[in-house]
């Protein structure tokens, strides 16, 4: 059996990343639970379980839902939540979470508490074992975890969420007792800036993304880039240097520590192509680089490259678009 830790958003809907993990668990159930008694998929929801989430879990083919709700589990606490998962984890099979910060943290605790090994950033599973991405997605390695229970996280976008014939999941309600020592580390307050400030959905769902890096030159150098974003009806994505310098907010960062994007086209302007940035654009269908350095990794990896000053190049492109649109 495979137990999937499910994250929900503020409105109680199943997070897209968890839907990916549930689909992965269902489509690989035979492999993940090869030595288990049952090849089913069970979902663990900590905190409120809404009707919408229950319906979504059914549509994603979940056989059983474990709903864990107590006052001690209300605020996120990695040790307490992990122990609650360990208590309901199968003896054989797999425990899986999507590779979000929370999923990563929880699975690490689960692995330690069960004495099992953990495989992070898994992208595929078959009879030969697991395939996982390393070096920010630049390479892959095969591995066999061994042990009775496989503790895994799924790399972002490794699997498209897919609904199936809806199930009628049994719901098991648990009120586990939490040891005081497991509550020493817990979230005591969450501050949300504003919905807009934290929203990366425009970036992750855009069909066209214009990326801007240090080559833009300064906080005031984004004029042409933003105009191009506007013409394309796309989104702006930036490198970590740009967010680190405070030129743009972190929500716009693309890469290993930013958003992973899958646009039809990514136009990287003044971005060198560091491995951590490339990790975020692996899923782009077409890559266009605009850079003064023809030796840069971005230019070398691009499908099309324009060697030149980005302000001049994008300025000319914008002018052409304006002229053609009258």
C-beta of 41 vs 313, nearer to ligand FAD? 313
Site for ligand FAD in 83-142 (CB under 6 A): none
User: Is residue 83 marked as binding?
Assistant: no
Distance CA 217, CA 97 (A): 40
CB atoms within 10 A of CB 312: 12
Distance of CA 288 to the CA centre of its chain: 24
User: Is residue 214 marked as binding?
Assistant: yes
Joined tokens for residue 173: 């309600």
User: Is residue 239 marked as binding?
Assistant: yes
C-beta of 66 vs 240, nearer to ligand FAD? 240
Minimal distance, residue 298 CB to ligand FAD, in Å: 6
Q: Which residues contact 169 (CB under 8 A, 6 or more apart)?
A: 43, 54, 57, 58, 62, 63, 64, 65
User: ∠ at Cα 83 (82, 87), nearest 5°?
Assistant: 120
Window contacting ligand FAD (CB under 6 A); options: 3-11, 22-30, 196-204, 270-278: 270-278
Distance CA 231, CA 314 (A): 11
Exactly one of 40, 255, 263, 287 binds ligand FAD (CB under 6 A); which one?
Answer: 255
Residue 215 interacts with ligand FAD (CB under 6 A)?
yes
User: Is residue 291 marked as binding?
Assistant: yes
Site for ligand FAD in 278-317 (CB under 6 A): 280, 290-293, 296, 309-310
Residue 260 interacts with ligand FAD (CB under 6 A)?
no
Minimal distance, residue 283 CB to ligand FAD, in Å: 14
Residue 69 interacts with ligand FAD (CB under 6 A)?
no
Report whether 24 contacts 41 (CB < 8 A): no
**Cross-strand partners of 95:** 3, 151
C-beta of 124 vs 225, nearer to ligand FAD? 225
Exactly one of 16, 162, 257, 301 binds ligand FAD (CB under 6 A); which one?
Answer: 257
Element (DSSP H or E) covering residue 270: none
User: Is residue 167 marked as binding?
Assistant: no
User: Is residue 255 marked as binding?
Assistant: yes
Grouping H, G, I as helix, E, B as strand and the rest as coil, residue 210 is strand
User: Is residue 270 marked as binding?
Assistant: yes
Minimal distance, residue 306 CB to ligand FAD, in Å: 9
User: Is residue 306 marked as binding?
Assistant: no
* Helix and strand counts by DSSP (H, E) for the chain: 13, 14
C-beta of 3 vs 261, nearer to ligand FAD? 261
Strands 129-134 and 118-126: antiparallel
Distance CA 280, CA 303 (A): 17
Binding site for ligand FAD (CB under 6 A): 213-215, 239-242, 253-258, 270-272, 274, 276-277, 280, 290-293, 296, 309-310
Q: Which residues are annotated as a binding site for FAD?
A: 214, 239-240, 253-257, 270-277, 291
């Amino acid at each position: 059996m495979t137990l999937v830790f499910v994250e929900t958003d503020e409105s109680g809907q199943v997070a897209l990343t968890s839907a990916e993990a549930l689909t992965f668990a269902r489509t690989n159930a035979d492999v993940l639970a090869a030595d288990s008694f049952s090849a089913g998929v069970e979902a663990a929801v900590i905190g409120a379980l809404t009707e919408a989430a229950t319906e979504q879990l059914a549509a994603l083919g979940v056989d059983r839902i474990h709903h864990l709700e107590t006052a001690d589990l209300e605020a996120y606490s990695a040790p307490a939540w992990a122990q609650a998962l360990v208590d309901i984890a199968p003896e054989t099979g797999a425990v899986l979470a999507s590779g979000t910060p929370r999923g990563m943290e929880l699975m690490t605790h689960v692995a330690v508490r069960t004495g099992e090994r953990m495989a992070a950033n898994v992208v595929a599973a078959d009879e030969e074992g697991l395939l996982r991405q390393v070096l920010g997605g630049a390479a892959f390695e095969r591995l066999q975890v061994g042990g009775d229970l496989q503790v895994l996280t799924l790399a972002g976008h490794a699997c498209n969420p897919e609904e199936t014939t809806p199930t009628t999941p049994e719901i098991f309600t648990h009120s586990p007792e939490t040891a005081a020592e497991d509550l020493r580390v817990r979230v005591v307050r969450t501050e949300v800036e504003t919905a807009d400030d934290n929203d990366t959905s425009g970036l992750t769902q855009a069909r066209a993304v214009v990326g801007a890096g240090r080559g833009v030159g300064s906080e005031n150098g984004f004029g042409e880039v933003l105009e191009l974003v506007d013409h394309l009806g796309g989104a702006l994505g930036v490198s970590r240097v740009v967010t680190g310098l405070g030129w743009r907010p972190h929500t716009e960062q693309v890469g290993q520590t930013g958003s992973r994007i899958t646009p039809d086209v990514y136009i990287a302007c003044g971005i060198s192509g560091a491995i951590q940035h490339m990790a975020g654009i692996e899923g782009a269908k077409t890559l266009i680089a605009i850079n003064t350095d023809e030796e840069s990794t971005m230019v070398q990896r691009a499908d099309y490259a324009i060697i030149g000053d980005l302000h001049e190049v994008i300025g000319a492109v914008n002018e052409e678009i304006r002229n053609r649109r009258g």
